[in-house]
């Protein structure tokens, strides 16, 4: 994966960002719980933990350059994702996925996630 130190963590970040960018996935998996197979589980909380706790790429993605992130384009995109997502987390706290996805600001999160996804997939 282009020389990052932790390619498995990069894959986890990429997966979390992709889920945050995909409204249909969120509807099907997070809200309707239509999972692709038995023993599958995913929700917004899992994705937030992947980004902020497990991989610690947010809230400060600068620390992840060369370990998980490749360049300044990815860095800038993840800074923006943190900006919009952390505002929601601070405001909504522990709330059901439906509250997050239904919030008027959720579109900003999906847009930032799509931009991060484009930046990260440009560098396989």
End-to-end CA distance of the chain: 6
Tell me the pLDDT of the chain averaged across its residues. 94
By the 8 A CB rule, do 100 and 44 touch? Answer: yes
Q: Does position 81 have pLDDT exceeding 50, yes or no? A: yes
What one-character DSSP code corresponds to residue 68? T
d(CA 10, CA 7): 5
18-58 pLDDT per residue, tens: 999 999 999 999 999 999 999 999 999 999 999 999 999 99
Q: Does position 72 have pLDDT exceeding 50, yes or no? A: yes
Task: Please state the domain extents for the chain.
Answer: 7-122
User: How many other CB atoms are there within 10 angstroms of residue 24's CB atom?
Assistant: 7
pLDDT at res. 3: 80
Q: Does position 1 have pLDDT exceeding 50, yes or no? A: no
CA of residue 79 relative to chain centroid, distance: 12
**Verdict on whether the full-model pTM lies above 0.85:** yes
pLDDT at res. 67: 94
pLDDT at res. 52: 97
């Amino acid at each position: 994966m282009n020389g990052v130190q932790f390619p498995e963590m990069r894959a986890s970040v990429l997966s979390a960002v992709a889920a945050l960018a995909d409204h249909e996935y969120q509807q099907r998996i997070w809200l309707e719980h239509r999972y692709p197979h038995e023993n599958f589980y995913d929700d917004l909380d899992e994705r937030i933990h992947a980004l902020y706790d497990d991989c610690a790429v947010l809230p400060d993605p600068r620390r992840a350059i060369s370990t998980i992130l490749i360049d300044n384009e990815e860095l800038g995109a993840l800074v923006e994702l943190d900006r919009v997502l952390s505002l929601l987390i601070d405001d909504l706290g522990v709330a059901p996925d439906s509250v997050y996805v239904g919030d008027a600001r959720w579109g900003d999160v999906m847009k930032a996630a799509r931009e991060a996804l484009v930046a990260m997939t440009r560098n396989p």
